[in-house]
């Protein structure tokens, strides 16, 4: 085995594999933009050889088992595998979760000089999963060898995201982030998902309300996707479903008409429940209209608790974002 490519999307990994441009392709899709981050012990074990890590907390869990078995890679650790390769390329996508995985990978490899010497980063500015294999084979995204400055920036950013407050992450906007060309938009996109200083909603929740405002809207019309009007790309399918639940299934809803839920695998597996969900006709409540107009704060009426990186947001400890002046507002 000579060339390993690590990407952040299974579709992209499949396209690279079909194009035959690498000996082994690994996709890492672990979600870092939603819910609590893994513990220190889980983070340390994620890239280690497989021992007792639960499914979903090992770096090979998003790669088909047959591909790992064919290559003899089942259960291998990242640094162990890199030592056997002539070259290792990181192909991160531009979306925030992919950029966070890149930070994590670089932070993990930073202390391994032999591993870093084999690394190259190929920054992708678009998703590549649907590209024809023949075109894929001709792709040659620009490659950058990570320097000590790359590693220092990635380490600082990764620690900032894991911090107990968003302050260190916000402070990154004052630094030169050009070494990681897709990172600054990611940093801003994530800050925009903090509760808005006026309405209490993040940017994706706000976009959902904007799309529902005309009334009689189907649930999946507000989900992001190819050529869909919700252009936000921070959260995935399941996470957006949970956000919509949070707006509609709460003590004082901002959205009415959601006839089924919660947005879970059980609901998807039940044909009748799933059909009821898809056929729901959504409208804004009076609170939803007031929030969208900037006249009400959603979290004055509803519980807050949710995670943003390493920060637990609560009613008593609510960090907010002022999108107009790009300013982080600390709790009172």
Looking at 114, 131, 164, the residue that finishes a domain is 164
Query: For residue 87, which phi and psi values (nearest 5 degrees)?
Result: -145, 150
Cα gap 313→296, rounded to integer Å: 19
Considering only residues 138 and 157, tell me which one the structure prediction assigns the higher pLDDT.
Answer: 157
Contact 173, 155 (CB under 8 A): no
| 224 & 251 share domain | yes
**pLDDT at position 199 over 70:** yes
Looking at 145, 164, 183, the residue that finishes a domain is 164
- What's the pLDDT at 37? 97
Q: What is the mean pLDDT of residues 37-43?
A: 96
| 151 & 211 share domain | no
| 177 & 154 share domain | no
**Which domain does 155 fall in, by range?**
3-164
| 209 & 306 share domain | yes
Predicted structure pTM score: 0.94
Among the residue ranges 1-15, 196-210, 236-250, the one predicted with the least confidence is: 1-15
Please write the tens of the pLDDT for every residue from 277-299: 999 999 999 999 999 999 999 99
Mean pLDDT of the chain: 92
Token pair of 125 as six digits = 């500015």
| 78 & 196 share domain | no
The CATH number of the domain holding residue 83 is 3.40.50
| 15 & 111 share domain | yes
**pLDDT at position 136 over 70:** no
| 153 & 198 share domain | no
User: Where residue 1 falls among pLDDT bands split at 50, 70, 90?
Assistant: low
User: Where residue 115 falls among pLDDT bands split at 50, 70, 90?
Assistant: confident
Contact 87, 120 (CB under 8 A): yes
| 253 & 132 share domain | no
Angle between helices 203-212 and 237-248 (to 10 degrees): 70
Please write the tens of the pLDDT for every residue from 60-86: 999 888 888 888 888 899 999 998 899
Looking at 164, 180, 198, the residue that finishes a domain is 164
| 216 & 115 share domain | no
- Structural element, H or E, at residue 239: helix 237-248
| 53 & 113 share domain | yes
Task: List beta partners, residue 91.
Answer: 7
User: Where residue 128 falls among pLDDT bands split at 50, 70, 90?
Assistant: low
| 39 & 146 share domain | yes
Give CA separation, 304 vs 6, 44, 56, 264, in Å. Answer: 36, 30, 27, 20
Domain count, the chain: 2
């Amino acid at each position: 085995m000579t060339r390993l490519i690590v990407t952040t999307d299974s579709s992209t990994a499949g396209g690279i594999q079909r194009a035959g441009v690498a000996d082994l392709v690994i996709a890492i899709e672990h979600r870092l933009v939603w819910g609590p981050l893994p513990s220190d012990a889980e983070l340390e074990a994620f890239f280690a050889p497989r021992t007792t890590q639960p499914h979903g907390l090992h770096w090979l869990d998003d790669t088909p088992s047959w591909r790992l078995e064919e290559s003899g890679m089942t259960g291998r650790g990242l640094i162990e595998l890199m030592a056997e390769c002539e070259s290792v390329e990181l192909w991160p996508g531009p979306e925030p979760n992919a950029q966070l995985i890149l930070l994590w990978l670089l932070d993990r490899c930073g202390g391994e000089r032999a591993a870093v010497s084999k690394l190259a980063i190929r920054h992708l500015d678009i998703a590549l999963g649907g590209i024809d294999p023949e075109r894929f084979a001709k792709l040659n995204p620009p490659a950058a060898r990570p320097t000590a400055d790359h590693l220092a920036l990635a380490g600082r950013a990764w620690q900032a995201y894991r911090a107990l407050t968003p302050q260190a992450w916000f402070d990154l906007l004052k630094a030169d982030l050009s070494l990681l060309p897709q990172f600054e938009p990611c940093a801003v996109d994530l800050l925009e998902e903090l509760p808005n200083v006026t309405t209490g909603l993040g940017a994706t929740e706000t976009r959902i309300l904007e799309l529902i405002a005309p009334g009689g809207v189907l649930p999946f019309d507000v989900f992001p996707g190819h050529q869909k009007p919700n252009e936000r790309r921070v959260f995935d399918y399941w996470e957006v479903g949970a956000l919509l639940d949070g707006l509609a299934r709460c003590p004082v809803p901002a959205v009415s008409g959601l006839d089924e839920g919660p947005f879970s695998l059980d609901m998807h597996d039940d044909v009748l429940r799933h059909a009821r969900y898809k056929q729901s006709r959504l409208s804004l409540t009076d609170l939803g209209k007031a929030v969208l107009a900037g006249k009400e704060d959603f979290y004055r009426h509803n519980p807050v608790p949710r995670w943003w990186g390493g920060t637990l947001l609560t009613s008593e400890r609510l960090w907010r974002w002022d999108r107009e002046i790009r300013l982080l507002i600390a709790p009172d």
